[in-house]
Amino acid sequence: MSVGIKELLDEARREVTSLGIQDAEARRQDADTVFIDIRDVRELQRDGMVTGARHAPRGMLEFWIDPDSPYHKPYFAEDKIFVFYCASGWRSLLAAQVAQRMGLRCASMEGGFGAWREAGLPTETRD
2 occurs within a structural domain:
no
Q: What is the DSSP letter of 46?
A: H
127 occurs within a structural domain:
no
- 24's enclosing H/E stretch is helix 21-27
4 occurs within a structural domain:
no
Q: What CATH number did the domain enclosing 100 receive?
A: 3.40.250.10
Look at the chain and report how many structural domains it folds into: 1
Domain that holds residue 48: 9-119
What is the tens place of the pLDDT at every residue in 79-125?
Answer: 999 999 999 999 999 999 999 999 999 999 999 999 999 999 999 99
What is the tens place of the pLDDT at every residue in 71-81?
Answer: 999 999 999 99
pLDDT above 90 for 1: no
